[in-house]
Structure 1
Amino acid sequence: MLNPDFPFSYDHYLAHPAGLGSVPAQAHGTEVAVIGAGLSGLVAAYELMKMGLKPVIFEPEQIGGRLRTASFPGAPEVTADLGGMRFPVSGRAFYHYVDQMGLASEEFPNPLSGATSSTVIELTGESHYAVTEADLPEFFHEVARAWRASVNDGAAFAQMQEAIRVRDTKTIKEIWNALVPALDEQTFYGFIAASEAFKKAGFGHREAFGQVGFGTGGWDTDFPNSILEILRVVYTDADDGHRSIAGGAQRLPEALWEDAPSGMEHWPEGTSLKSLHAGSPRGGVAKIARAEDGSLEITERWGKTHRFPVVISTCQSWLLSTRINTEESLFAAPMWTAIERSHYMQSSKTFVMVDRPFWKDIDPETGREVMSMTLTDRLNRATYLLDNGPDAPAVILLSYTWNDDALKWLSLSAEERVELMLHSLAQIYPNVDIASHIVGAPITVSWEADPNFMGAFKANLPGHYRYQQRLFTHFDQAELPESQRGIFLAGDDVSWTAGWADGAVTTALNAVWGVVKHLGGSSAPENPGPGELLAEIGPMSLD
């Protein structure tokens, strides 16, 4: 995921034997506040601990953030990933930590992927069964060709992918810096509707593209978003080559919390984030303010206060004005505008556990599997089949929906959601009694209803490039007044690839660089950090 806005090789940076930098010996043991125990907060805290600093993590709920894995009652080994569940192999900074923690991964059963034995696309009441792409009717191939033509003609797709593959930062920036001013105010739908390929194909092809899309399924819920958001995804293969973490995605932040890395500065062998916190993070944050001595004062939900020389905030940026009383003078007015204008996608999932992977049964009349990974224009939109082996209970993600489709479920109970989803699936698979295989209670989530998130992830609207640039580059504080220094933002919504765990990792590394510099430290000369290269290959300015 070598991002075109800032094509810095974070994977090489992480792998370099010189490390990520150091702070002066007199700074060892200095406490650094980290707000949020999601992946970004845990990565930042883990790397700061290795440098001899003492992270103090504040978290109102549980370790993991939106890498949240739930177990079914009575079957703790059967899990469902409520947030992030599939991670592209191009996210190499993310997999640096997956590998370092010794976690196994497996191919995720996306439509028509190698891990999916069959896929059904059902649109306007007509079903199409496919084992491979070649089994689909010509119409869908026309849609795919129109999409490829539109991004090649309008966004230099092939040239950009090749430049990313060989890490040719000069070419990446030349292509991207020409596209940003031309496309910043264009929607995803406006881009494809204006392309010659989709004009020629007609509305029906655009409609099917929205319903079925590419890679993981339909993209019409993204149609109002900036086309730049979509290009960042497809240039970097973020929507392809997905894998899941065996045992659930939450295992990664939990592993970072418990791991005791060797060779740390200052801390003795066996030290972990968990041991530094006596087993539990601090509580949720209610207030952030500048103290009279110039330090940053954090007030917990129940009134306890702490002072720190530096703070990293990894919570979703809206929370800095809605859930946390953040002193306005800590950020300039344009930064507050960028924070407030963040646009979050709604997202809903509903899972059921079933007695076995019955969908692999073969229908004697058709010779096909009785049920498949399903893409549809019905309420469910996307149904995934998650197999734990022939002799173990399996899981069906009955519905994975976004934005307006997710809001349709918001007021319904878990049981009501399941009933409606089963009704829709019965129209596609009239001879399959899915309900007879369900075991126990369903698990469901609507991220927009969680007060600590208020949405699944950010997705920029047209015209939001300036806001994103402010958020992303905030970690380099050399030009800021003293009153605005020392508080750093991180998290996937600060990154250029919101919604992808790799962005949570890379912005955490940006914040670590900022903290090190703020405390008088520096990068190793042979391994320059993101701040050293920001001016050279960083995001362009539109002003």
Structure 2
Amino acid sequence: MRYSLAASLLVSSAACAPYAPLPVHLETRTEIDSRVANVHVTFNEPVEGELTYTYGRHCSGTHQLRDAHHTVARSNSNSESRLVWLMPKDAESGGCLSAWDSNGALVGRSEPQRFQTVKKRDLRKRDGGIAMTQDMGIDTWGPWFDGVKLLENKEISAVDAEAAKSKEVAIVGGGMSGLMTYLVLHQSGLSNLKILEASQRLGGRVHTEYLSGGPFDYSYQEMGPMRFPMTVSVANETYNVTDHQLVFQLAAEMNGLNGHDRNLSVDFIPWYQASPNGLSYNNGFKLPETGMPPTLAQIKQNASLAAPAPALDETTQKLQDAITKITSNETMMIEIATNMHKAHKDFIVNGLGGKGGEVWSEFAYMVNYLNATLNQTDIVVGSSADSSFWNSLYDNVYFSASTWSTIDGGLSRLPLSFHPLVDNVTTMDAHVDQVEFLDAEQRVRLSWKQKGAKDAAYQNATFDYAVIAMPFSKVKLWRLPMLPTTIKNAINNVPMESACKVALEYKTRFWEHLPTGPIYGSCSTSTDIPGVGSVCYPSYNLNGTDGPASILASYASGDWAVRWLSQTEDEHVQYMVDAMAEIHGDVAREQYTGRNNRRCWYLDPYEGGAWAAPTIGQHQLYIPEYFKTYSNMIFVGEQTSYTHAWIASALESGVRGAVQLLLELGLVDEAKAAVDKWMARWIEV
């Protein structure tokens, strides 16, 4: 269902009056549901001199230039072009668009335009392009796509659509946000797009490691994102997790573009988030009858088998209950699931306890507002003390999902599907680390050195616009002194979370044949062995009998992911080999093939971290900055989105960045079409 404005401007084309043929043809080609639109101009024959385009109430032949209600644009162009039509709030229904030559003679007239009720709005102008800002009608804290219907240009002007679509645009980074930006711009008709990728692969943090063979030999693990939440059940109702639907839509789009080629297809299979036979190995305890740790199902039947939870005193328990009530608020959970963008705005505006948006860290809220002691707060929040409640709210919804999906053959098949589309426009090994704005030319210069060439000179290329779709930690901005401090801080100061994963390969899927019952998929096995974190079994090729298979022996984030950096890869891997044998028994040591992979994202030369982790206040402060175009640069990536660490976050930012550029170029029709295709269909209000 499309997002609709409470009060909108509806324009329809009536049957054309029997005017004599005129040299200039004026028309609108899309439904106009706001005060901004593209008017398409076609010249049936040349007209000399400056043309004036107007809108007036009357459409008769006696209507003259002086009778116009307002001027739409002036232009000397005789090529097919567009106007950015900004409709004043007092424009009346039933008028026509007209074109006048330099002598005031009528040379073009549109069909009548009929208005319904118009939402009054203060239209203002801005120098330097179209502003996707709060003042200009763009809701940077929530449903930004609503603002596309309320945009305005810097001045009343004509747009050469062909020239606009021929602008040279660099997309710096071939991760999911960069690829999504490319797709939207490419499908909008931009013809001079270039992707500059620092590594030799597409996908960025989407990284499937194939320990043996290829995708359908089924011995792989996800060293980056792993899964997609689909539905969540709240108050006995099931809701789609709508922002993640963007992933499924993209996969369907790429499958169609690739003619459903099996070698490139992106097909979804269930991801098993939980298994009743997941093991709980704590305090070294194993059941004497099986020699195995108890399963979750056994603990459910006999709670005494569980590791004892620390007893909470009455006041600490009340604090725990209060925080759980906040993070599991059913109304907020439903809103996040059905419209994450609107939920984000509600959180920023209303906040907690009537105190506004991201004012509180969880620690500060408990100590300063709930008057909890430091000890109580430490017990309740632990390592999440400096987290924003917004992070806890959306993560609680996502990880409460009742159904999940993953990609058959690995998530890397999603960026793989882009290769036929982008290979001819992609330069690999272009590790851009310097950006400069050439004021005289109004162009962006990007510079990089060829990988491995210590003494090589920088390679340079200039573009009309650059979409920065790479981790901000990799961009050097000292050549951009004109950038305001806020955007510099937004780029330089947002910390990155650390995560380390270790994948181990085994000769068979022994975990599906344990004496305590088969473990099919899931990350249900837990342990107090330090530094292990989550243990995840594959959700693909269940009960497969051929060839080796792999498990994610360790998924650690936060403090432990940093601690592991002090260990060599061999030491880290051997620790996990030993830990898996301790949990599962000797079968794990016997079945280990010796093949493994460790990925610590802080060590990745192209990413520098696993996902963005803005501190309290940064999220609210910086998001509006990402909606501004500075020195012909637009910034995208999951770090610029409302949520972090998910593929959907990167894709959403790519759509926003593409729409932002389309609006900068005056391509309003294309911007609205992109929003309607990629965003509006998932929003329901």
TM range (shorter): 0.7 to 0.9
Q: Which amino acid aligns with 1:179?
A: G
1:36 pairs with one of 158, 164, 173 = 173
Alignment of 1:277-356 (within 5 A): 277=426, 280-281=427-428, 283-291=430-438, 292-302=440-450, 303-321=458-476, 326-329=478-481, 331-356=483-508
Q: CA deviation at 1:7?
A: 3.8
In 2 relative to 1, CA 352–426 (structure 1 residues): closer, same or farther, beyond 3 Å? closer
**1:436 pairs with 2:595:** no
- Higher relative helix content: 1
**When the two structures are aligned, how many residues end up with a matched partner?**
474
Are 1:137 and 2:303 an aligned pair?
yes
Equivalent residue runs for 1:211-230 within 5 Å:
221-230=383-392
Q: Provide runs of 4+ in structure 1 moved above 6 Å.
A: 138-143, 145-148, 168-172, 192-196
The answer on 1:273 being equivalent to 2:273 is: no
**CA distance in structure 2 between the aligned counterparts of 1:467 and 1:460, rounded to whole angstroms:** 10
- Equivalent residue for 1:186? 360
Deviation at 1:486, TM superposition (A): 1.5
Q: Classify 1:109/1:223 alpha carbon distance in 2 versus 1 (closer, same or farther; 3 Å).
A: farther
From 21, 43, 50, the counterpart of 2:187 = 50
**Against the structure 1 CA distance between its residues 170 and 95, is the aligned structure 2 distance closer, same or farther, given a 3 Å change threshold?**
closer
Q: Which amino acid aligns with 1:315?
A: M
2:20 maps to which residue? none
Q: Residue 496 in 1 paired to residue 642 in 2?
A: yes
Residue identity in the other structure for 1:491 = G
Structure 1 position 457, deviation (Å): 0.8
Confirm or deny: 8 A CA contact 1:415 1:442 kept in the other structure: no
CA contact (8 A) 1:492 1:499 kept: yes
Tell me the residue number matched to 1:177. Answer: 349
Q: Report the TM-score, using the length of structure 2 for normalisation.
A: 0.61
Shift of 1:124: 4.1
Query: 1:152–1:79: structure 2 CA closer, same or farther, 3 Å change rule?
Result: closer
SS at match of 1:409: helix
Q: Which residue of 1 aligns with 2:536?
A: 384
Conserved? CA contact 1:229–1:460, under 8 Å: no
Q: CA deviation at 1:369?
A: 4.7
SS of residue paired to 1:306: strand
- In structure 1, list runs of 5 or more residues that go unmatched: 14-21, 211-219, 259-271, 478-483, 538-543
- Counterpart-to-counterpart distance in 1, 2:578 and 2:369: 38
Alignment partner of 1:412 is 2:567: yes
CA contact (8 A) 2:269 2:406 kept: yes
- Paired residue for 1:374, among 516, 525, 537? 525
Q: Distance in 1 between matches of 2:633 and 2:302?
A: 52
Distance in 1 of aligned mates of 2:424 and 2:657? 23
What CA distance in whole angstroms lies between the structure 1 residues aligned with 2:311 and 2:409?
A: 38
Contact 1:183 1:227 in 2 (8 A): no
Task: Give the Cα–Cα distance (whole angstroms) in 2 for the partners of residues 405 and 55 of structure 1.
Answer: 41
Among 307, 332, 336, the residue aligned to 1:160: 332
Give the fraction of aligned pairs with identical amino acids, expressed as a percent.
18
Q: Which residue of 2 aligns with 1:66?
A: 205
Give, as a single letter, the amino acid of the residue that structure 1 aligns with 2:443. S
Relative to structure 1, the CA distance from residue 528 to residue 273 in structure 2 (aligned partners, 3 Å threshold; closer, same or farther) is: closer
Partner Cα separation in structure 1 for residue 319 and residue 281 of structure 2: 20
| Distance apart, 1:34 and its partner CA | 0.4
1:231–1:435 Cα change, 3 Å: same
Structure 2 equivalent of residue 262 of structure 1: none
Residues 311 and 488, structure 1, Cα contact 8 Å, conserved in 2:
yes
Kindly indicate whether residue 235 of structure 2 is the aligned counterpart of residue 88 of structure 1. Answer: no
| CA distance in 1: counterparts of 2:254 and 2:433, whole angstroms | 32
Partner SS for 1:297: strand
Answer whether contact 2:143 2:342 (CA < 8 A) is retained. no
| Correspondent of 1:122 among 281, 303, 328 | 281
**1:506 partnered with 2:660:** no
- Superposed CA deviations along residues 206-248 of structure 1, whole A, max 9, x for unmatched, are 86x87xxxxxxxxx55443222222232246686643221111
Shift of the 355–523 alpha-carbon distance from structure 1 to 2, 3 Å rule, reads same
Deviates more, 1:341-350 or 1:98-107: 98-107
Checking the alignment, whether the CA contact within 8 Å between 1:151 and 1:157 is kept in structure 2 is no
Q: State which drifts further: 121-130 or 43-52.
A: 121-130
Contact 2:208–2:221 (CA under 8 A) maintained in structure 1: yes
CA distance in 2, matches of 1:137, 1:23: 71
CA drift at 1:515: 1.0
Partner of 1:519: 665
Query: In 2 relative to 1, CA 516–136 (structure 1 residues): closer, same or farther, beyond 3 Å?
Result: farther
Q: Deviations over 1:400-429 (max 9, x none)?
A: 001211123223333322221233344434
Amino acid at match of 1:159: T
Aligned-residue offset at 1:87: 2.0
The answer for the alignment partner of 1:487 in structure 2 is: 633
1:101 aligns with 2:233: no
Q: Is contact 2:358-2:620 (8 Å) kept?
A: no
How far 1:4 sits from its partner (Å)? 11
- CA RMSD of superposed structures (Å): 4.0
The correspondence of residues 6-21 of structure 1 with structure 2, limited to 5 A, is: 6-7=142-143
Given that 1:289 and 1:297 are in contact with CA atoms closer than 8 Å, whether structure 2 keeps it comes out as yes
Distance (Å, rounded) in 2 between the aligned partners of 1:294 and 1:4: 26
Q: Distance in 1 between matches of 2:519 and 2:416?
A: 38
Unaligned residue ranges in structure 2 (runs of 5+): 4-138, 150-158, 231-240, 256-265, 286-292, 451-457
Q: In the TM superposition, what whole-angstrom CA distance separates every residue of 1:332-365 from its partner, at most 9, and x where no partner exists?
A: 11111222221111110010111111112242xx
2:526 counterpart letter in structure 1: L
Secondary structure in 2 matching 1:410: helix
Who wins on radius of gyration, i.e. which is larger?
Answer: 2
**Is the CA contact 2:140–2:627 (under 8 Å) kept in the aligned structure 1?**
no
Residue 447 of structure 1 is matched in structure 2 by: 601
Q: Compared with structure 1, are the counterparts of its residues 354 and 193 closer, same or farther at alpha carbon in structure 2 (3 Å cutoff)?
A: farther
Deviation at 1:92, TM superposition (A): 1.3
Secondary structure, aligned partner of 1:408 = helix
Deviates further, 431-440 or 172-181: 172-181
**Corresponding residue to 1:79 among 220, 235, 241:** 220
1: CA distance between counterparts of 2:470 and 2:340?
A: 33
